[in-house]
């Protein structure tokens, strides 16, 4: 599995969720990742990772080395070499590329061509989240970068981790018929649900009494999360939380040191629990009564997996992906959301207050969410493997 991981935690969390499911096929899974935090996650048996040098996303097109004192082009060449040599040594039966069909700066293209030429038994798979961006922006980007051609030539299958009745990228992104035949809608990726013992343990660690309610605020990786955290803090600076409500904030590890100091000072004043990173986010989610988050794919799946009422405050720059996802989910009754034009400290407080009092209905809808991805993915792997054995024989 290849995951470029230049921004946030979503890609590596999604890759690990899929890897955990595939090891039960059984399979041995090797993840190629640029995430600087991959070693802080619990890596299960039969799964391992190769860490390629990190790159930091500056804009949609500009990336800089995360820590190496080299030119960006030099680091990309190093990454490209590691990806290819790892694939050649591992000789996988399946190669799954997460989200970026060409990789960062086309770094995975050479490996995909090598597999086509030298390892034709390997099934190449592109895994896409449900929504990439607005339709016009995605079409323009894919046409400019030759993405449609890459999908046609370099991939055997395209897995969309979503449901076409929610959002249909084939229609929205004008995917040609020949490529569309490769698309398999897997449904959404469910996440680990912690045991009651684990949830009780987290609540005990946080000092929560049995009658106290907990509001969790998280921004995923946190690199672009400060405006949301700032508005959330203002909401509770203007309206103090009731004594029976405790608040926990996880800023994400990529929040800048300056912003983190500001958040730390304000949380201390309000009596909020603060974490920069939490290794077991699913346990914090399980302990919460209401969650406020941005609208990233992985965060949303983690929350709905545990049937928690939540409020999405989506980002709209550099992509509209989170806003579209929030609109789709809210329209179907799975969450509340605040679009940018309605975002204010007052609006955030009133939404949280409403969910604390009336979250049961939103949470009950989660039982109907199409969490079928892991079953579909396992079946595709088994079916392809069986087909390869027949062909080889």
- Which pLDDT value is given to residue 317? 85
Which of 27, 69, 75, 70 has the alpha carbon at shortest distance from 48?
A: 27
Q: Is the CATH number of domain 2-189+371-391 3.30.70.20? A: no
Domain boundary assignment for the chain: 2-189+371-391, 196-368
DSSP sequence for 59-117: SSS-EEESS-SS-HHHHHHHHHHHHHHHHHHH--SEEEEES-TT-GGGTTHHHHHHHHH
CB of 53 closer than 8 Å to CB of 81: no
Tens digits of residue pLDDT in 317-326: 889 999 999 9
Helix residue spans in the chain (DSSP H): 10-22, 72-90, 109-118, 135-145, 147-154, 169-172, 177-180, 196-205, 226-238, 257-270, 281-287, 297-305, 321-331, 345-365, 373-392
> Cα(236)–Cα(268) distance, rounded to whole angstroms?
13
CB of 157 closer than 8 Å to CB of 123: yes
- Which pLDDT value is given to residue 389? 42
Low pLDDT (below 70) residues in the chain: 6-7, 60, 387-393
Mean pLDDT, the chain, whole residue set: 93
DSSP sequence for 364-386: HHGGGS---HHHHHHHHHHHHHH
Task: At 208, list the tokens.
Answer: 């929560």
CB of 333 closer than 8 Å to CB of 368: no
CA dihedral 276, 277, 278, 279 (to 10 degrees): -160
Q: Is the peptide bond before 318 cis (omega within 30 degrees of 0)?
A: yes
Tens digits of residue pLDDT in 21-55: 999 899 999 999 999 888 888 899 999 999 999 88
- Which pLDDT value is given to residue 244? 95
Q: Residue 198: phi, psi to the nearest 5?
A: -65, -40
- Which pLDDT value is given to residue 388? 58
Residues in the chain: 393
- The distance of Cα 249 from the centroid of its chain, to the nearest Å, equals 19
- Which pLDDT value is given to residue 392? 36
> Cα(393)–Cα(389) distance, rounded to whole angstroms?
6
Tell me if 2-189+371-391 shares its fold with 196-368.
yes
Residue 293, helix vs strand vs coil: strand
Q: Residue 174: CB partners within 8 Å, gap ≥ 6?
A: 135, 139
Which H/E stretch holds residue 30? strand 29-33
Tens digits of residue pLDDT in 76-132: 999 999 999 999 999 999 999 999 999 999 999 999 999 999 999 999 999 999 999
Residue 236 to residues 7, 109, 246, 269, 285, Cα–Cα distance (Å): 29, 49, 11, 11, 20
Residue 182, helix vs strand vs coil: coil
Q: Would you identify the CATH topology of the domain 196-368?
A: Rossmann fold (3.40.50)
Beta bridge partners of 47: 29
Which H/E stretch holds residue 335? none
């Amino acid at each position: 599995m290849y995951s470029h991981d230049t921004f946030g935690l979503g890609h590596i969390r999604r890759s690990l969720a899929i890897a955990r499911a595939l090891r039960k096929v059984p399979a041995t899974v090797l993840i190629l990742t640029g995430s600087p935090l991959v070693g802080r996650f619990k890596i299960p048996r039969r799964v391992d990772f190769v860490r390629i040098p990190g790159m930091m996303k500056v804009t949609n097109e500009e990336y800089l080395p995360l820590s190496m004192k080299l030119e960006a082009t030099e680091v990309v060449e190093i990454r490209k070499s590691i990806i290819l040599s790892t694939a050649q040594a591992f000789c996988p039966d399946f190669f799954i590329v997460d989200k970026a069909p060409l990789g960062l700066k086309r770094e995975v293209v050479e490996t995909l061509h090598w597999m086509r030429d030298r390892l034709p038994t390997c099934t190449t798979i592109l895994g896409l989240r449900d929504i990439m961006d607005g339709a016009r922006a995605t079409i323009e980007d894919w046409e400019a970068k030759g993405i449609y051609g890459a999908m046609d030539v370099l991939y055997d299958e395209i897995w969309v981790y979503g449901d076409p009745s929610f959002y249909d990228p084939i229609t929205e992104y004008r995917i040609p018929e020949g490529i569309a035949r490769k698309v398999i809608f897997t449904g959404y990726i469910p996440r680990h649900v912690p045991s009651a013992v684990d949830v009780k343990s987290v609540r005990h660690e946080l000092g929560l009494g049995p009658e106290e309610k907990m509001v969790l605020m998280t921004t995923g990786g946190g690199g672009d999360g400060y405006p949301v955290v700032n508005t959330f803090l203002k909401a509770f600076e203007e309206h103090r939380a009731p004594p029976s409500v405790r608040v926990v904030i996880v800023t994400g590890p990529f929040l800048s040191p300056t912003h983190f100091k500001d958040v730390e000072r304000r949380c201390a004043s309000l009596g909020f629990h603060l974490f920069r990173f939490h290794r077991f986010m699913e346990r914090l989610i399980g302990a919460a009564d209401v969650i406020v988050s941005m609208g990233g794919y992985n965060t949303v799946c983690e929350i709905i997996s545990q049937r928690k009422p939540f409020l999405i405050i989506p980002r709209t720059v550099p992509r509209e992906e989170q806003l579209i996802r929030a609109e789709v989910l809210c329209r179907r009754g799975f969450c509340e959301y605040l679009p940018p034009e309605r975002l204010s400290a007052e609006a955030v407080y009133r939404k949280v207050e409403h969910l604390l009092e009336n979250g049961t209905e939103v949470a009950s809808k989660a039982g109907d969410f199409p969490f079928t991805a892991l079953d579909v993915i396992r079946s595709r792997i088994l079916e392809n493997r069986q087909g390869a054995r027949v062909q080889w024989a």
